[in-house]
Amino acid sequence: MDPKTLQTNLLELIRRSSTDMPPDIEVAIRAGYRREEKGTPAKSVFKSMLDSIELSRRKSIALCQDTGSLVWNIYYPDGSEILPVTKAIENAIAEATDKTWLRPNAVDIVTGKNSGNNLGAGSPILHFHPWKKKNWEFSMMNKGGGCENCGIQYKLPDSRLGAGRDLDGVYKCVLDAVFQAQGKGCAPGIPCVGIGGNRDSGMECAKNQIYRKLDDINPDQILAKLEKKLYQDCNKLGIGPMGYGGKTTVLGVKIGTLHRLPACYFVSIAYMCWSDRRGNMTISGNKVTYSN
Amino acid sequence: MIKINLPTDEETIRALHIGDEVLLTGTIVTARDTAHKYMVTEKPNDLAPLLKDSVIYHCGPIVSHEGGKWSMVCAGPTTSIREEPFEAEVIKMYGVRGVIGKGGMGPKTLAACKEFGAVYFHTAGGCAASLAQTMEEVLDVKKLEFGTPEAFWVVRVKDFPCLVTMDSHGQSLHDMVEKKSRAVLEELIKS
Ligand code: SF4
């Protein structure tokens, strides 16, 4: 695919990710609306969410003004050239910023200056993965800053929580993280958890859970059970949408694991807000398919 | 639903209580992190008349600039707690009657709301496309060099929807929810 066409397709991927809520998230928001009691702020804020989702989709307006940091996973046929692709992604991002599908979100630490086009040191975040297939796959997410601030990394054992180095300890960490977030990360959120690894791979594992569909089932039966229990118990906290109080505090809980070092037991939690924006594009020859 | 026109006065604000749903109409000013630090350290004069008896909005919008005119494309709230170190001072210095944001604020701001007669208006995080529809006109922008998310946007809004979650009587819905959820948390992680 020539770079210009690729850039046009990438721009469309960004537009979809930023403006079109994934169907599984919308279903969960609708369920939250039904679950909350009549006449409560919780119910009315769910209604506002549904209205705003609808408006964004219809008019191609960004779902949230914080279009987040752009985290990409790119799977490419082993041996392909990736530098021109990096360039095409950067160009598409700058163009999407111009079109107001992205807010300028890259700020220089030292000067405080906003680069104006979302490009800068460490922005965007691109992870390239070679694979044996012939097609390309681009996955991206818009990871907002408010919910990013609710992310946290625990090191077990944790005496404050009475959390030991086992899955029961993990359970306590996730509940504590959701409690600490209250409404600040735009609840109802999706705590995405990475157990194990080191400090950076653990958090990356947590972030990668954001790509999972809400209704998927963890292939590991023990983790599937833990996700379900955490989903139910987080919702007992009563924090509710926006922290207004209510029955819907999380939309789901997703857990991934990595082997750990004998000395380390990290529980890394990436808190994703209800505006869980992600997009996917597959290029096979000249055929392009989008999904989110 | 209570309708409030801006600028407002102390009496109107003192009549509000947590849980009240409010629609705001009038001129508001956006301000977030850099802007708050600037208001407190540089004490700019040009902002004072705009802020007196009006409302600050914690928001870093997406804006468009067409034909020499700015407009709000997408403008939901940002997390307010980051402004906790500054907000009490801002309420006192500028006579602000309310702050719009999300996630609530801490004890210093709550105390300032009580002392000076102000409230915290919570609005729906992530509903940025809808909220921008209530922002009818950008009247001015100050400190654009801070970048579009951090600049002061002076905006005329009509029926901007919010919920009072901290009032001028020392009540905070956020404190109540936190307290309740803490009790549940402790029960769940016991053992
Ligand atoms: S936490 Fe999410 S929904 Fe809330 S303001 Fe940030 S990006 Fe938007």
Q: Do A81 and A173 fall within a single domain?
A: no
Tell me which residue range forms the domain holding B179. 2-190
Judgement on whether residues A93 and A173 belong to the same structural domain of the protein: no
Q: What share of chain B is helix, strand, coil (3-state, %, to 5)?
A: 35, 30, 30
Q: Is residue A91 part of a domain?
A: yes
Sorted by sequence, the CB contacts under 8 Å of residue B65 that are 6+ apart come out as: none
Residue A31 lies in a domain: no
| A289 close to A282: Cβ distance less than 8 angstroms | yes
Question: Which residues 233-292 in chain A show a CB within 8 A of chain B?
Answer: 233, 236-240, 242-245, 273-275
User: Of A47, A119, A242, which to mutate for an interface test with B (greatest number of B Cβ within 10 Å)?
Assistant: A242
**Beta-carbon separation of A65 and B127 below 8 A:** no
Residue in the structure block whose two tokens are 């040191």: A121
Domain count, chain A: 2
Same domain, yes or no: A8 and A85: yes
pLDDT digit string (tens) for A187-216? Answer: 999 999 999 999 999 999 999 999 999 999
For residue A9, the enclosing domain spans 3-17+63-144+277-291
How high is the pLDDT of residue A1? 82
Question: Does B76 contact A49 at a Cβ distance shorter than 8 Å?
Answer: no
Same domain, A262 and A287: no
- Determine the pLDDT at residue A161: 97
* Pair (A175, A197) in one structural domain: yes
In a domain, A56, yes or no: no
Q: Do A168 and A233 share a structural domain? A: yes
| Angle, helices A23-35/A41-59, rounded to nearest 10 degrees | 150
Tell me, yes or no, whether A225 and A160 share the same domain. yes
CATH number at residue A7: 3.30.1330
Q: Is the same domain home to A163 and A266?
A: yes
Residue B120's contacts (CB-CB under 8 Å, 6 or more residues apart) are: B80, B98, B99, B100, B101, B104, B105, B109, B110, B113, B164, B165, B166, B167, B172
Q: How far is B159 from chain A (nearest CA, A)?
A: 14
Domain assignment present for residue A130? The answer is yes
| A68 lies in the same domain as A135 | yes
Any residues with CB less than 8 A from the CB of A2 and at least 6 apart, and which?
Answer: none
State which residue of chain B sits closest to A172, comparing Cα positions: B189
Q: What percent of chain B has pLDDT over 90?
A: 99
Ligand 1 atom with minimal separation from the A274 CA: 3
Dmax over CA atoms of chain A, in Å, equals 59
**Nearest ligand 1 atom to alpha carbon B126:** 3
Mark out the alpha helices in chain A (DSSP H runs).
3-19, 23-35, 41-59, 83-98, 145-148, 167-181, 199-208, 221-234
Distance CA B3, CA B15 (A): 12
| pLDDT tens-digit map of B112-161 | 999 999 999 999 999 999 999 999 999 999 999 999 999 999 999 999 99
Flag whether A151 is in a domain: yes
∠ CA(B111), CA(B117), CA(B122), 5° rounding? 75
pLDDT digits (tens, 9 = 90+) for B23-46: 999 999 999 999 999 999 999 999
What's the pTM? 0.96
**Do A233 and A126 fall into the same domain?**
no
Which residue positions in chain A have pLDDT lower than 50? none
Give chain B's domain count: 1
CATH number of the domain that residue B159 is part of: 3.20.130.10
